[in-house]
Structures are given as structure tokens and as C-alpha cells.
Amino acid sequence: MECPHLNEEFVKINRDFVRKTKIEISAATSSSKTWRCLECASMKENWMCLNCGTVLCGRYENCHALKHSSSRSDHKICISTINYSVFCYKCDDFIVNDTKEMRLDALRQELSSKDDDSASETSTTTSSSSSTSSGVDDPASGGKYQQELISTSSSSDSGWEEMPLGRKLRPRKRTISSDSSENAKRKSLRKVVGLRNLGNTCFMNSVLQSLSNIHEFSCYFSALPAIETAKQKRFYHSRSLKENVDDANVVEELRKVLLNLSQGGDGSKAISPECLFLVIWKVVPQFRGHRQHDAHEFLRYMLDRLHTELQQITLPDGVVVTGKPPTVVKCHTITATESSSTGIFKGRSSIVTSVFGGTLQSEVRCLICGMESKKHDPFLDLSLDIPEKFYKECDEDNQPVCNISDCLSSFTEIEELAETELYYCSSCKCKQKSTKRFWIRRLPNVLCLHIKRFRWSNFFRTKIDLRISFPINSLDMSQFVLNNGPETRRSNSSNNVYDLAAVIVHHGNGSSCGHYTSFAINNGTWLHFNDHTVKEVPPSAVADCKPYILFYIRRDPSKNS
């Protein structure tokens, strides 16, 4: 949003003020060398008033920044001390424009220069207890989240200990451990980094972290060489949104982000996906600005764009990549004939369709003559309704627990089409009442399940904030798969078993507000990704979340016991 309040009345502090404040912080004791709320000393995501420079906590802590703004008519604009996004309390939205003197840009540069001396923005925690509680801070949406996932206290009584990644430690003597796998695991976790929030971009960050932990997908992009345009010039991003959309290359920018995530960034900071986000602005205008967007919509738009771009890319002679880790080997290119015979998307296959692509079979049966029509359609994910019996006319105390299998059963059950959806029967030669049913004809390597939590009610989009249980291991899809198709006949039942790889969670009540975080398993350890923060969590924390998007990976039959 372009804020009309960016003037001298509301923005009074300058770069010199920020630099002086940083010097005061640096001169403080080691335990105080970070931005703290002036009122409650909170070290979580704080905001600096651009009128007086006071640093206060956001709405999800003790609301001191909001109270400060409400008590003073000209103290309405603040800047995040973490991701440097600017928020206007008078407009109640994030700001994308700047003053004529580019004062916000100067403040961001000064604030960002503090990163080298500040505590790491990317952190992980090791568990010492199964108790969990932590919150997600954002000034733009009201209400505190129902439950905190992780506590950031370093006390042994808190249950969790926060530990910055990539911090240079003094060498010290340590006993040699015989458990090499545990050492490898710890070394791998030290490479994990978070993503900066560029201003309500948590929807994008949660998707990127989930995709980065789907190894077949992320390894493909990590092995992909730098993409060049038709003019034989490498693509470098520009902030200008007036460039030709054909020049915008989502593949190249995603490759850079996934490569940085796989390499652990620079070992001390969160990665900024700004270039990728601005490319998305070009190709999908609806994502422009800093409003909250739907993570599932972003995932679908990005995967569709990636598939389109990858079909147009010609790699240099002799360069062939595959998504199967850890080595880069020659992969089989699916021809148009093979593609149509297996129900894959039209045109050449891509890593998108190879990983996420499956095939649905819809069956429509005429209720008058019994004539049946079958159709095959490709899919990248399955959008599942929550059965009404689990959320309508139920007391919270007596509310039945919905399982992901209930949602899948609802997806594949027979339904009678409404009067407005009468099917034209080729046998009766007219539109007749009919039933419709979906089967999964071919399962993908990575099964993406989107739970339809948002629905329209009385012209308002509301959220079904219902707990849905789901298995972390051994999701058996056999009962939902057509058992007489050529694709299913070539595979055995063990290929229908999936294990969870990542989960995207929406916190809050509305689709246009709230916050997105994600869980993903990395080298056998579950991690919680909350923008720039990464923390280790037990499987129980994952099982207790309220999922919005689930990513399941097909289990290798050779690993079944």
C-alpha cells in the first residue's frame, strides 16, 4: 500500500539517530546487545517509531507499539527491527512507497548494517522437554495466537534452549563421540537458515521452506546451471515492474534461493528472497504489494509458472540434471506420447510434473439409463473439503476429531450433482440427473494435500479452525486409488504408502490476515520455520499443529520393514 502519511510530521528520525542508537546498544552489556522493548524488555520482533525512535513490542507480545501509536496522533509509522518492513497504524497496513528524500531506504540500510554484530537471525533449538509454547509476532493482524509452539528462554526449566546457527565459537576440548551419525546430523542442522519477511511475505517463506526440504525438487534446482535469456545474457533482477514479463525468470530466482538454502546462506544470517518476490510481482500482479496472501494460491501460481518456464528452457549440450539426490545423473525425458499415455500435463514433462504430478479419474453416471462417462485429468495437489459433520452444530467439548482420511473419503465419495449441474447424457440425448465420483488413477511422488479451511458464509470468507489429525508416517492411500488402471497394475500396494515431509500452518482467523509458518523434516529432525527463525521441535509438536497444506513423500518400497 502507498501510504499518504509519509511526511515530516510522522517521519522525523534519520539515519544519524539510528546509528547513535546502535552505538549505545553495542556499548551495553553482552546480554543487552539487541533491540528490546522499552516497556517490557521483550527481545522478540520489535518496532521502532519513526517519529521519536522508541523501540516497542508488537501486537502479539504486549501491544506496546500499538498503545504508543494510539496515545499520540503523529506517532503512527514504525519500522521492524528484524525485517525492516514499515507499517502505518493509521492505514493499518504495510507501506511500499518512500519519502521524496528516500528516508526509509536510508533507515533500512543503517539498520541492516547492524546485522554483522547482532545476534543471528537464524536459530535452532534442541529439545529438552516435550512441553511447547511460543507466539508469532506481526503488527498487521490482531489477536494473539492460541498457542506458542516453542519457548525461547534459555533456562533449562523452560523446555527449550535457543541456539544461534553459524556463530563462530572459540575452539574447546571435547570428547570424541563414536556416534558419527549424530555428529553429521548436528553439522547438517547448522546449515539450516531462515528467510527474511519482506513485509507480510510469510505465505511465500512457508512455501519456499517446504519445497526446499523436498529433496527431489530442491536438488534438481541446486544442480541446475544458471539460466540465460534468449539474448544470451544472464538474468539479473531489476526493481522496475515495467520490464517485459517474458524477461522475468522465476526458475532462475528460485534456483538461487534453493541453492542458498541448501548451502546454509552465509552461515550467520537469514536469506532475503527479495529478487524472487519481485519477479513474482511481475508475472502474477495480484501478489504485488505487502498484503497477506494465500499460501496455497502462491504455491499453485508458482508451480504453474515453473512448469511453463522449464518447458521453454534448453540446457547446454551435455548438461542434464535430475532431482534425485545426491548425484547429478542423466534423466529420462518423457516424450509427448508417453506424457499423454500416463496422464501427465500436456507438453514435455518438467521437475514440477515429475514430482507433484498425478492423475485423477472422474466418473459421471446417468441416474436414468446408467450410462457412465470417464475422464482423466492431471493434478498437482488435491484440495480437500472438511466434512460438515465435524464443524457444524457441534459443541467444542463434544466435537469429533476429523482425520485426514475423512477428508480423503469425502473427496472420493459418490455425490449427486445439483440441478444446476445436470449432465448431458449421450445415451438419453439430453441433460439428466447424475452422480459423480473421483478416483486417484496415478499417485505422484510427492502428494500435496490442501485442506480447504476457508469458505464463504453470508458474503464473508471465514476460517474453519478445526483440529485435523494426520499421520506423520505411513499414510496409506490404497483405498483411494483406482485398483484396475494400467498405472496401478504396474505397482504394488507398498507404493501407496507416504511419509510426511512438510506442513504449512495458517495462524489466525481470516484468509487475508494472520501468519504462516511451516514444519519440515531435515536429516531426520523436525524443524519449525517461522520466517527468519528456525527451531528444532519434536514430532509431537508437528502432530499437534492445525495443517493447511501437507506434503507427503512416497515411501521407497525397499525401505519397508
Catalytic residues: 202, 515
Radius of gyration of the chain (CA): 25
Amino acid at site 179 = D
- Look at the chain and count its residues: 561
CA angle 188, 199, 17 (to 5 degrees): 100
**Cα distance between residue 134 and residue 353, in whole Å:** 37
DSSP label at residue 459: T
Grid coordinates given for 246:
517474458
Measured CA to CA, the distance from residue 93 to residue 140 in angstroms comes to 6
Place of cell 514444519: 519
d(CA 487, CA 505): 33
Distances 145 to 135, 509, 515 between C-alpha atoms, Å: 6, 9, 9
Largest CA distance in the chain: 86
CA nearest neighbour of 309 among 235, 416, 400? 235
Rounded Cα distance between 433 and 366, Å, is: 6
- Between helix 202-212 and helix 215-223 the angle, nearest 10°, is 90
For the chain, percent helix, then strand, then coil, each to nearest 5? 30, 20, 50
The two beta strands, 160-164 and 358-366, are unpaired
Question: For helices 15-26 and 103-112, what crossing angle results, to 10°?
Answer: 20
Instruction: Name residue 115's amino acid.
Output: D
